[in-house]
Amino acid sequence: MARLAGKIAVITGAGIGIGQAIAKRFAVEGAHVYVTDINGETAADTARAITAAGGAATPMLVDVSKGQDVTALIRAIETAHGKADILVNNAGILIRGEVRSLSDADWTKLREVNIDGVLRLSRDALSLLKKSSSASIINISSIMANRGLRPLAAYTATKGAVTALTKGLAVEYAPFNIRVNAISPGYIETAITDRLLKLPPVRKALVDKTPMGRLGLPDDITGAAMFFASDDSLYCTGSDLAVDGGMSAGL
């Protein structure tokens, strides 16, 4: 039996990468997936792939840094289904650079997507999640949330905020029977890491630091996402699960 049958799942940044992999996995497990992305074409492509495989998906162009986009998403789900069961706050951006040379505009962009977007979706979706018998919010953080790394101090600060917000929301939302957990990936081969991982010395160094001897793929995150989305994690909230091939354990 499909483990997410009858569930309504909302995934941000689901047009490519980790979000796309989670969307496809949830659809296979029976969820109706709202595939949201700042790129409407990639959202539509992912939704088409899901429906072609026999799943249910609705694509929507959503910029999580814009309140009106989030409002439109919530209204669409309310009209169509009246509830939501799973929210995956996956959308994120990476801006490299030393803090001493970071522009206000770049910091604002990082904050608006990586922190404000998570808070906004978690806040605005509450009315829908409260109508679920077993709701789950899954925030995609990073193992870098608890480490300093040049030149990513600003990025790691935003992910640290996501981890902290996860714990705060877990306590606040527990009375509503809404679980809130985080997944902290290591280095995963996606568009956001592509330029970095194409540098042979960097790639070798990162693989050497990973006890399992390889970098991750988007599909490697889907098992953890399924655990937190399903009833297997009914007594888990406020957790932060590293999915990194052992990198954080070995550092």
Residues 8-26: tens digit of each pLDDT? 999 999 999 999 999 999 9
For the chain, give percent helix, strand, coil, nearest 5.
Answer: 50, 15, 35
Domains and CATH numbers, the chain: 8-250 (3.40.50.720)
Residue reference for tokens 């569930």: 7
Alpha helices by DSSP H, listed for the chain, are 17-28, 40-52, 67-80, 104-111, 117-124, 126-129, 153-173, 194-197, 200-208, 219-229, 247-250
Given the residues 34, 155, 173, 187, select the one marked as catalytic: 155
**What is the residue-averaged pLDDT of the chain?**
95
CB atoms within 10 A of CB 101: 8
Average pLDDT of span 77-102: 96
CA–CA distance, 227 with 3 (Å, rounded to integer): 10
CA–CA distance, 84 with 7 (Å, rounded to integer): 7
Burial of 35 (0-12, 13-18, 19+ CB in 10 A): buried
CA–CA distance, 154 with 132 (Å, rounded to integer): 36
**What pLDDT digit, counting tens, does each position of 213-243 carry?**
999 999 999 999 999 999 999 999 999 999 9
CA–CA distance, 33 with 27 (Å, rounded to integer): 6
Confidence of residue 192 (pLDDT cuts 50, 70, 90): confident
Helix (H, G, I), strand (E, B), or coil: what is residue 67?
Answer: helix
Please check whether residue 156 is in contact with residue 148, taking contact to mean a CB–CB distance below 8 angstroms. Answer: yes
Helix (H, G, I), strand (E, B), or coil: what is residue 69?
Answer: helix
pLDDT for 1 beyond 70: no
Active site residue 155: yes
Confidence of residue 70 (pLDDT cuts 50, 70, 90): very high
> According to the model, what pLDDT value does residue 251 have?
59
What percentage of the chain reaches a pLDDT higher than 70?
99
Please check whether residue 59 is in contact with residue 32, taking contact to mean a CB–CB distance below 8 angstroms. Answer: no
CA–CA distance, 248 with 240 (Å, rounded to integer): 13
